Copies of this chain bind each other. A is one copy, B any other.
Amino acid sequence: MTGRQGPEQRWSVGELARATGLTVRALHHYDDIGLVTASERTAAGHRRYAEADLRRLYRVRALRGLGLSLEEIATVLARDVDDVSALRAVLEGQLAHLDEQAVRVSRLREQVAGLLASLDEGMPGPERFTATLEAISRMDDHYTPAQQDLMARKRTELGPAAIEAMKVEWFGLARRLMGLQAQDVPVDDPRVQEMTKRWDEIGTAFHGGDTAIVAATDAAYEGSKESLNRQLGWPAPGDGPDLVDYVRRAREART
């Protein structure tokens, strides 16, 4: 074991691992990247950690608990003088990052939940479900060249995954709105209002408020809605009232 007298006490990796709940491998890793280094080695090369190393390690452990990366922790602890501004900057960055993540996760959650709801309510042709997913994903095929350009730009801006997620969510909204419409639910019903609100949010995420683009989209939709509906497994327009009309009326009914 180790000598126990006074402030000269040293610890081995294993002892530190037990004391902190970290693994020996993690301590090796911190050593490799220079985050927490043993200030001494025995003749045989065994690490000996001193009091100062221990203190540094505890700070690292605390900061890891906040979700900071090892690199960020290194910058925070870089100045041996406590540099509050560096810490504040890193924490603010982390806060922003967490907010982003929270939005992403809750969006994804809604989208997956919506799709599951569609499944439970007996989608049009559940046995063709992935075929429907394919059709949703290929909606772009019906767009005009200008719209496809817009989509391409948005895709590089937001990433393909985000675009696809919004399309799937839009599909789920449309399907559930059609259900409500079929039951003659009034357009000022809170469910209808909430769903059309999200519908429009998705819309603005694409066209960014440019009304010319909205008009072009509507025109393109009019031109190709027959084949689009067929591919999505939806009733042909004319078989019932128009969903777009329902959404428009809901929009107008907003306070």
Contact = CB atoms under 8 A, between A and B. Distances in A.
How many protomers of this protein does the assembly include?
Answer: 2
Contacts of A82: 126-131
Nearest to A99: B109
Given A21-B156, A67-B161, 19 more contacts: A21-B151, A21-B152, A21-B155, A22-B160, A55-B134, A61-B137, A62-B164, A62-B168, A64-B160, A65-B160, A65-B162, A66-B112, A66-B115, A82-B126, A82-B131, A84-B126, A98-B108, A98-B112, A102-B109
Q: Counting chain B CB atoms within 10 Å of each CB, which of A65, A112, A129 scores highest? A: A65
A55 B84 CA distance: 54
B105 A66 contact: no
Given A108-B67, A167-B62, A87 B137 contact: no
A124 B51 CA distance: 24
A94 to B, nearest CB: 5
Interface of A: 18, 20-22, 55, 58-59, 61-67, 76-77, 81-82, 84, 87-88, 91-92, 94-95, 98-99, 101-102, 105-106, 108-109, 111-113, 115-116, 119, 126-131, 133-134, 136-138, 151-152, 155-156, 160-168
Contacts of A92: 116
